[in-house]
Amino acid sequence: MSTLARVVDPEAVAALAGPSARLAVRVPASWSGRAVEVRAPVRLSCARCDGGGCDGCARSGAFKIELGAAERSFIVTLPERLAADGALVRLLRPLGDESVIETLLLEIRAAEKPSEGVSLHATPSAAARAGTTTILVVLALVLTALAITLAAR
């Protein structure tokens, strides 16, 4: 599974000239705002020509992804609210540097059931979140006590 980079320069992204693919997925509307894991299929349609064939895809209309299922998987956070007509998200190198795909246009639409290969991403357990909260509370108390001690001097 690849790690996604954060985009800081939208103009640089717009200027990318490498292979661009398109993938449409369906997710339940109740998943809005949550992280999902997407396993891309072996063949992805070319985003430039919509499968018609162009110089970007060597006139094939698609890209064959020569990676295993785990390497074709990536995590994306869904928009907080899916519009009636869905959402379009541009991802940079979602399949890692080993893949020919430089950008992926991910079309997300609300549906009753998720597309094949799309699932909710496992989030930290409630116990792990509670442990993190406890650590932060203890740290805040220690810092408060330190501040009071220093102010009393």
pLDDT digit string (tens) for 80-130? 888 778 899 989 889 988 888 999 999 999 999 999 999 999 865 445 556
Query: Residue 141: which pLDDT band, with cuts at 50, 70 and 90?
Result: confident
Q: Count the Cβ atoms, other than its own, within 10 Å of residue 145.
A: 10
Percent of the chain with pLDDT over 90: 44
d(C-alpha 105, C-alpha 56), whole Å: 15
Q: Count the Cβ atoms, other than its own, within 10 Å of residue 111.
A: 14
Phi, psi dihedrals of residue 142, rounded to the nearest 5°: -65, -45
Angle among Cα 28, 33, 35 to the nearest 5 degrees reads 85
- Residue 54: which region, alpha, beta or left (left: phi > 0; alpha: psi -120 to 50)? beta
Q: Tell me: the pLDDT tens digits for 45-58?
A: 999 988 888 888 88
Average pLDDT over residues 58-81: 91
Helix (H) or strand (E) holding 128: helix 126-152
Q: Count the Cβ atoms, other than its own, within 10 Å of residue 103.
A: 20
Tokens representing residue 43 in the block: 């063949």
Single pTM value for the model: 0.70
